[in-house]
Amino acid sequence: MRPTVNDIAREAGVSLATVDRVLNARPGVREKTIRAVNDAIVKLGYVRDLNAANLARSRNYRMAVVLPDTESQFVQTLAKALTDAGSIAATARMELRLLRFPAEDPHALAALLASLPGHGFAGVALMAPETPVLRDAVRGLRARGLPVVALVSDLPNTGRDHFIGIDNRAAGRTAGVLMGRFLGGGQPRGSERSEVLVLGQSLLARDMIERRRGFDEVMLRDFPGLEVLPSLETHGSSSTLRQVVVERLASAPGVRGIYAMGDGNRALTQVLDTMGLSGKLTVICHELTPHVRQALEAGEVTAVITQNLGHLARSTLRVLRAKADNLPLDAGQEQIRIEILLRENLPPAPDSASDTPAEADDAA
């Protein structure tokens, strides 16, 4: 049997009350006694039964997840993954509150964050671009004891407790090798020149920059025979995307591959379709949204670089909780992997999952 507080008390030759004082860092215990108790803890290999402890203090973990109010399919999918994970974690005394902020308003975000400590939150997960105001807001939260984890896009200079997401530079590199190898390693195909088109909604966003850097890194080093054209900006607008793609493909007939770094994959496949190019180019994009899944199955998209959003959501909950309890993490479990999805290794659609919340009756 695992040792309990009573065993510690006996071993240390003190009373239960004293063990409790030491365990919970309550004042009024001599240094010497503290040491005696800690020695006993080490000797017996005591570990607090977190479940019993939480039961006793009837603790519940209320966490805030702060996302931009963007309507993009990625954010939508992420929000759903988080909600799903949250409703399952409800049995583990966790409560998730999804909060949205105006995507382009750092000050509104800062104000939102500042209001959190008053509402009994035990931690915050945050997906937002790093700005000076945000840095201060995050520092403020941490100063008040709230752990903060960055979601999807890192906030390296804010002192956040953890980052949950992929290394975008490595993701870009991965896209690069795939593109290079899928296009035959850069060997010229007949007399044509092979070119690759790169799309991104904004060249200022940190993740876009990193993906592009990683992509170029590999293309330059390993596939000098392929020419990567300058990035085209879509600004998140479908019409802009359509326009620039049509324009570019007309002027550059040697384009054999497209790397779509950001959103707007739906518009992209549509353009290609109307141009009669579906399935004729190597198209690599990011994030497995419902539409992308469909395009992958149809052969309109060749490969998808993605992070498993279900995993990301569950990881968020686990990390928030571990940070709230000041417990160590299982690094391997929290490592979000850069997944390569082809039509052949596409996991089955989550579908309208098993709605039955339980086997209901416990009866045998």
Give the footprint of a copy of itself on this chain (CB under 8 A): 23-25, 38, 47-52, 54-55, 84, 88, 91-92, 170-171, 173-174, 176-178, 181-182, 184-185, 187, 189, 214, 218, 308, 310-311, 314, 326-328, 330-333, 335, 337-340, 342-345, 347-348, 350, 353-354, 356-359, 361-364
User: Element (H or E) spanning 66, and its range?
Assistant: strand 61-68
Cβ closer to a copy of itself: 66 or 309? 309
The one-letter amino acid code at 174 reads T
d(CA 146, CA 165): 20
**Closest distance of CB 289 from a copy of itself, Å:** 15
Cβ closer to a copy of itself: 58 or 251? 58
Cβ closer to DNA: 56 or 358? 56
Contact 179, 282 (CB under 8 A): yes
Q: Which residues make beta-bridge pairs with 304?
A: 285, 341
Contact 263, 241 (CB under 8 A): no
Instruction: Say which entry of a copy of itself, DNA, none residue 250 contacts (CB below 5 to 8 A, set by partner kind).
Output: none
**Closest distance of CB 357 from DNA, Å:** 15
Ramachandran region, residue 347 (left: φ > 0; alpha: ψ -120 to 50; beta: rest): beta
Cβ closer to a copy of itself: 71 or 362? 362
Backbone angles phi and psi of 96, in degrees to 5: -110, 130
d(CA 117, CA 19): 31
**Closest distance of CB 359 from DNA, Å:** 15
Binding footprint of DNA on the chain (CB under 7 A): 1-2, 4-6, 13-18, 20-21, 23-24, 27-30, 32-33, 46-49, 52-53, 55-58
Instruction: Say which entry of a copy of itself, DNA, none residue 25 contacts (CB below 5 to 8 A, set by partner kind).
Output: a copy of itself
Instruction: Say which entry of DNA, a copy of itself, none residue 28 contacts (CB below 5 to 8 A, set by partner kind).
Output: DNA
**Closest distance of CB 319 from DNA, Å:** 21
**Closest distance of CB 244 from a copy of itself, Å:** 27
| Interaxial angle between packed helices 5-12 and 31-44, expressed in degrees from 0 to 180 and rounded to the nearest 10 | 120
Instruction: Say which entry of a copy of itself, DNA, none residue 33 contacts (CB below 5 to 8 A, set by partner kind).
Output: DNA
**Closest distance of CB 312 from DNA, Å:** 30
Cβ closer to DNA: 30 or 119? 30
The one-letter amino acid code at 39 reads D
Half-sphere exposure of 130 (CA within 13 A, CB side): 16
Q: For residue 312, how many other CB atoms are within 10 A of its CB?
A: 20
Backbone angles phi and psi of 66, in degrees to 5: -110, 115
3-state secondary structure of 7: helix
